[in-house]
Structure formats: structure tokens, C-alpha cells
Structure 1
Amino acid sequence: MALATGLSTALVACSGADTSAMKTSTGQDASLDARLAPLAQKAADTGSLGVIVRVDRGTGRPLAIARQTAWTKADHHLAANDQFRVASNTKTVTATLILQQVAEHTIGLSDPVEKWLPGLVPHGPDITVKMLLNHTSGLGDYLLTPQFLPTLTGQEKRTWTAEELLAITPQQDPPAAPGEKYSYSNANYAALGLILEKATGKSLADLFEQKIIKPLGMKDTFLSTNADFSPGKTHATGYEPDAQRLRRILPPELHVPKGTAFAGPKRPHGNTDTTAVDSSWSWAAGGLVSTAADWQRFQTALLSGKLLPGAQMKQMLTAVPAPEEGGGYGLGLMEVNTPCGTVWGHTGGQPGYSSEIYTDKSGRRSAAVLTVTNFGIKEPKAAAANKALVDAAVCTMLGKPLPTESATPSR
């Protein structure tokens, strides 16, 4: 959600669809495939470029499909088990690790940030760990600052530390006092990553591996330290609009410099291949690489109570109003109201990669939609097709009719 949500509040590909687009699931219900596959292909051809959809209804084999627009196949044949930058979905893992430490009485939700990070966070004595978790800290975001924008677009290769990112984090605009209101910021989770390392004496990568990845058997998941994916594993190719399209997408009030563009090889129809853009700077806020299957394994374990005691799970699910996210925001977990009901999960967005991954409150059912562009689905037609696909995936997960199939969808 680093870009998908953090920028959406501030901020047509080639048709010629190949109906034999790669299908990677086996044993799936043909009726469900017939329901979702056309929407996936339409989204791909309307600007999403490529999508992975995986739906687990809690019984039988999950439905898993991959669809892409024709010209992208020259770069890579998308598959449902491709590795993918899940970006700000990482925040849910970071929050889980914090709450595990809360359960062990190592960290307190009411602890002032100054206790753990003296002098590093503006207004640290007044900001609590809980405020970082639910984005009510009053901190702004560093993403579009002049110092960081060249790194975000891949035009500058620089390794940022969390301390350096906190140092360039601006105040919210308009300013808000700690605890006053929700406002999404990656800086909150940069601070939480540092708190975790200080409280445990372990690196964040080791905590991810020892507390989440290894116990859950997430064999295709790791914390990125550069632009590389796992050797021997296939990964999705990511794209973003070129400078001309990007300028039309970004609203003028962002004051993004003219000519701003993502680094990478030029591709057809005003696109740029951004797969090699290094986003390891996102770290605790968005640095994990995973697959749809691995991430659904994590979310299912979390929501079904396997990773946190009941008291901490209740804290995680206590949300503050966040209308821009479609509902509310708990502690590293989004509450989203869809046409077919309320779901829990997170979104993610980085150059070339966008994702929405949700479960029901019991953790028994899950739906993932991974898209190989982030800014590309901000264009109106692409946004509408992508939303229709996400809604359909969630409705399928919940066993309910698609919004177009029901005159009075439940909420």
C-alpha cells in the first residue's frame, strides 16, 4: 500500500487478448474459472497489463489463474505462482511481530516512541507505538519528498537507512497532533522496524524468517535487500506508465517535477519495465517478496488465531475510521467494506506491482489479486476494470453473487 494507498489519497494497454492466456490452476471449479477469468482478461487488456488471481473458499482446491495482455508475453508468461513484490502487505507482518512482543510484555502499545528511538522521531514523546501501528501518529510520508523521489522512480540508486528516511519525513499537511486522525505513512513502519530490532536484539530479516516465514512454510517469501528475486524462481515483470502518461495520472497539487519518469527499458503503448527498480528501501513498511499462495497462508494463519493470542488479535482488529481505505485501519490490518461484505487484509503498491489480499474474519477464506502495474491502474478505465475484478474475487471467496448478479448486494 506504500503507493497504492499512500499516494491514492494525494495522487489502455494493448487489446488483442489471447484467449489461451496461461492458466496455472488445476482441479478448479470450471464455473468459478468462467466467472473470474473473463474479468481478469478484461482488466489485463484495459490497463492492468497482467493479473494473478487466487481464491480459496475454504473447501476444495483454490482457484488460481493468471491473465495478461498479449504484448507482455514477449517479456514473461505470467503464472499464478510467480514471485511478486507484495509491498505494503508487509506492514501486517511487521504489526504481527510487534503484537507478539506486546504479548510477551517486551513492548507496550502505550510506550512513547521516544523510549525506543530517542531523538529519531519528531514529537517522539507524544507518539505511541499504537499510533504508529494505526497511522495516527501525525507523521507525514517521505515518498514524494524531493530528496527521495529519484530513488522511488529508480533514477537514483541509493541505499537508505530507516533513520535517514525518518530524518526527511515531513509533518502531515495540514498538520495533525499525535492521535488526532488517521493518515497513512510509511514512516510509521520504518520506526516500528527499528523498535523491533532494538527490543529483540535481532535483525528484522531474522525476525521475519524465524517468527513467520519458516514456521508457516512460506518457501517463496523473503525480505528484499536489492532488486533481485530468488534465483531459480519465476517472478512477475512489472510496468509503469512513461513520463507523458504519468504526468496525466498524477494530480497537479502533488507538484511532481515535469519529466518525472521511472527508470527501465521502454515497452509498448507508453509503458516502462520497472522490474529492476530497487525497492528494498521499503523494509519494514513494504520490503517482502512473496507469492499469492504464500501470502494467503500467512493471512489465514493470522486471522484464524495461530500467530497471536486472543487479546492481541482483538487489538489488531480494533480499527480507526479510514474512509480512504474503504472502511477502517486496525493495527497493521485494513477493514474493507466490499459489495459482498466486510473483509480484512491489506493492499500493496510499488513500482510495477500492486496487490489486494483479503480474508474473511475467521481466516478460512481468502482472495488475492496481484497486478503488474501500480500507477497504470490509476487511469479511470483501468481502475474500473481492476475494481470489478477485485470485487468479483472477494464475492467468490465469500460464496456470494457478483455485484452485477444481485440487485441488493449485502454490506
Structure 2
Amino acid sequence: MSAVPSTSSESPDSTVCPACPAYPAYPDSPGHPGSVRTASRVASRSASRRRLLRGALTVALATGMAGALVGCSDAEPGAAKASVEQGGGAPSDKALAGLVQKAADGGSLGVIVRVDRGEGKPVEIARQADWTKDDHRIAPDDRFRVGSNTKTMTATLVLQQVAEKKIGLDDPVEKWLPGKVEGGADITVRMLLNHTSGLGDFLLTPEFLPSLTGQEKRTWKPEELLAVTPEQDPPAGPGEKYSYSNANYLALGLILEKATGSTVAQLIEQKITGPLGMKHSFLATDASWKDEKRHVNGYEPDAARLKKILSGTVEVPDGVGFAGPRRPGHNVGTTDIDPSWAWAAGGMVSTAQDWQRFMTALMSGKLLPKAQMKQMRTTVPAPEEGGAYGLGLIKVDTACGTVWGHTGGLPGYSSEIYTDGHGRRSVAVLTSTNFGVKEKAAATANKAVVEGAVCRMLGQPIPSKSPGK
């Protein structure tokens, strides 16, 4: 089988980051009645409908790697100085806060930004559109569905098992999941991790769309979603090219459970969230929140507005939209849509601070041995995404510096979380809509926030020619 050539292999410094906290070291319910259609049967559906669904979902939910990052331009003079807000001792950044407020008012609805430069107190900003305050007043420490950022955590768990020689990166998937993954004899664990398996994505299927939008209340098993996963369109063999698929990480979750005898949720708590003190993070098993008072509400455009937003990209059938209560501005509330289907591919609930703690520990070498960190940071080209992808980790080069991390998207929730190459500094940008920031003005404002926050994290001024200014 052919293999995608690696584009980079980097390891973090062997010295422990002095600014990092001291972390401990360490080396579902039944599905809907009826038969599940096989992958080959799904793949035979009409090309036109496949393209329609693919366009609608990949626009906002199949996680564009580079997110809003395109690099920083000329610096805004004097903008790097921070001030202290009245009534609190945490530093603030008036220029960045202004961009966040503009984004919230311009369609992002609710935005949390947390910038930790590895020294002093982090900058924390939370802004929201006025009408959303009737639902909940957001705060920097609110819980949030981080979506596909979960993939970095799942990859970390897999690489821990690789270090313990319980799983091999070149193990065929068929060894672990016989008969459960189409072409599993030719797909390796490494290919699942870096999205070169050749598997398509179940997000694109008519079977799953009603659950994704909340129109159907169904609890999916990972095996059921793998069974409805189509082949890529156009087809690509295992190892031939990068193509993002949530199915890869559902398969990895099943492999982890078989190799360890523990559930993914147990492994997350035992290996990562527990030792790191991530008290506000958990893997969602339904639509409920562990703290009903401290979570961000999610929103998406209603069916009519959604169709208009995507009109230049894809034809959306009349009536296709997200289920939820009507809200101002042709929005619907998506907070009650069950995200448990995402599981090992995107089911984590966390806070900005908790997830930055995880990324800091990971990138500073506290969760994986050097050999596995090198493997994680070995990337393959992902030209359609504007970056490079390692093993559950995205590398993005900006004019302000190189960052590592991931992005996430679920109905009502969009996130971008990055660190520098050593885990000394980190940034999180959490937005309470996904499709809503696909409108041109909203996208521009959100992009300015992410660019500005990343540059601040790297010790650079906000770009003076940012599209959001």
C-alpha cells in the first residue's frame, strides 16, 4: 500500500517548561430499531445527494484545519500593552476585547477568549450579543462542547498505549476490529490517527443527518456509525492522501477499549483529566451538562437563514435545519442536541482553562515519552485545509509563529485551541455558533479574533490590517 509522505517531524524541548504547573508523570444504549445499512450500500447512493450533503456539512462541521489562521500582518503600534479591568485583578486587552465584542455583535453571538502567555495571569474575555443574556450570561470559565479538539485527547491515549507496547501504530485495524471497518486489513492505526485511512465520513449520510440536526432523537453506537460510513468521494486507498473523517476516531475509540479493557471515558479520567486536575471536563454521554448553571448555550441559524448562508456553496433542501427553540435574529437554540454520537471523535465538554491545561501538559512533554511526541508531531500534507496534520494534532504556520492544536465544531459550538511548540503558551477561542460564523461579515470578525488572540499568545501585536478591523 502507498503512504502519504511526512512533511515534518518535530520534538519539544527535553527541558520541562518552567512556567508550566507540575503534573504527575505516567509513561451505550441500543440504537434505533431496524437493520443498519452497510458502507457499500451507502456508497452507492446518488452522487448528487452525496455532494449536496457533503457540501452542507463540510462547510461547517467537518473541521477546517487552519480555522481562521492565515497569518499576522503589520502590527498595531502600542497594542501589546494590557490593562486591568475595573473590579478585578485579571489583565485585560482592550484591543482584543474590542474585536471580541465586534464578533459577538456581528453573528458569533457568544465568544470566550483566553490567552495564556506562560507568565502572569491569563487574559480572559467573554462577550455576547445582548439578546443572548436572557438565556445565560457567559463567563470565561463556562463549560463548552469542544468538538473535534477531542481528537487530540484520543490520540494521546492511543500513543500512551503505543508507548506501553499494547497497540502498534502499524497494526492493521482488522487485528483489533475484525469485520467492523471496511478495508480494515489495509488500514493501520497510524492512518486512522492522521486521517489517511481512505474512510469517508458518516456526517455526509442521509441516515445520520436527522440526528446531527436534532430532528431525530437517537443514540448511536460507534459500530453503527462505522457501518454507515461511506467510501471517500472521489475514492482514495489507505495511505494515499489526507481526508478528514470522524469515523477514524470512532474506530480508535473502539481499539482503545479493546486493548485496555476500559471505556474511553474511564481512560480519559484515569490518564488525563484526573491527573491534570481538569475538574470541569468530561466525555458527554447525552445532552445533559454536569453543571446546569455554568455552560454556554449554543445557537444556529434557522432553516431559512441556513439555506441563505449556504446558497453560494451548496443547495440545501427546503426545511433542512436544526431543531430547537426559536431565538431572535432567525436563530434556534441547539443546546439540547445530543452530542454523544461524537464520542472519541468529538464528545468532550470542557472549559478554556481546562483544555489549555491539557494542551500545555501535552506539548511540554508531560503526557507522552519523547518517541511518541515525535510521532504525534510528524505531519502529512493537508493542502485543502491550509495546514499539516500529525497524529491528532494540527500544525499551522502564521506570520506570528507556528502553532499546534486543533479545531472543533458541533451544532452551536465552534472552537480553536492552540499552543506554541513547547507548550509554554496557549490560546482558546470558543464561539457559541458554528454555521452562524459562515456569513461573510461574521466570518471576517471571527477570523480577526482568532488571529489577534494567537498573535497575542505569541507575544506579538494584533495585526493592524486584520480583516475584522
302 and 7 in structure 1: CA distance in 2 versus 1, 3 angstrom threshold: closer
253 and 115 in structure 1: CA distance in 2 versus 1, 3 angstrom threshold: farther
Larger relative CO (CA 8 A, sep 6+): 1 or 2? 2
1:301 is matched with which residue? 361
Counterpart-to-counterpart distance in 2, 1:25 and 1:318 = 46
The within-5 A match list for 1:210-359 is 210-231=270-291, 233-250=293-310, 256-359=316-419
361 and 40 in structure 1: CA distance in 2 versus 1, 3 angstrom threshold: same
Unpaired stretches in structure 1, ≥5 consecutive residues: 10-22, 407-411
The within-5 A match list for 1:57-206 is 57-206=117-266
3 and 253 in structure 1: CA distance in 2 versus 1, 3 angstrom threshold: closer
Counterpart-to-counterpart distance in 2, 1:238 and 1:55 = 22
Deviation at 1:245, TM superposition (A): 1.2
Q: Is the 8 A contact 1:4 1:347 kept in 2?
A: no
Unpaired stretches in structure 2, ≥5 consecutive residues: 1-56, 66-84
Counterpart-to-counterpart distance in 1, 2:125 and 2:384 = 29
In the comparison of the two structures, how many residue pairs are matched?
391
Counterpart-to-counterpart distance in 1, 2:291 and 2:121 = 28
Counterpart-to-counterpart distance in 2, 1:179 and 1:373 = 34
TM-score (norm 1): 0.92
**What amino acid does structure 2 have at the position aligned with 1:132?**
L
State the identity %.
69
Deviation at 1:321, TM superposition (A): 1.1
Counterpart-to-counterpart distance in 2, 1:190 and 1:183 = 15
Superposed CA deviations along residues 5-40 of structure 1, whole A, max 9, x for unmatched, are 61659xxxxxxxxxxxxx89942334xx21210000
RMSD of aligned alpha carbons? 1.9
Counterpart-to-counterpart distance in 2, 1:69 and 1:182 = 38
Q: Is the 8 A contact 1:239 1:273 kept in 2?
A: yes
Q: Is the 8 A contact 2:397 2:403 kept in 1?
A: yes
1:28 is matched with which residue? 90
93 and 122 in structure 1: CA distance in 2 versus 1, 3 angstrom threshold: same
2:43 is matched with which residue? none
Counterpart-to-counterpart distance in 2, 1:385 and 1:252 = 20
Q: Is the 8 A contact 2:299 2:334 kept in 1?
A: yes
The secondary structure found in structure 2 opposite 1:356 is strand
**What amino acid does structure 2 have at the position aligned with 1:328?**
A
Match of 2:110 among 26, 50, 67: 50
Note if 1:39 corresponds to 2:39: no
Match of 1:362 among 422, 432, 450: 422
**What amino acid does structure 2 have at the position aligned with 1:218?**
M
Q: Is the 8 A contact 2:307 2:315 kept in 1?
A: no
User: Larger Rg: 1 or 2?
Assistant: 2
Counterpart-to-counterpart distance in 1, 2:236 and 2:265 = 32
Report runs of 4+ in structure 1 exceeding 6 Å deviation: none
Deviation at 1:311, TM superposition (A): 0.5
Deviation at 1:257, TM superposition (A): 3.2
Note if 1:207 corresponds to 2:267: yes
Counterpart-to-counterpart distance in 2, 1:324 and 1:125 = 27
Deviation at 1:2, TM superposition (A): 8.6
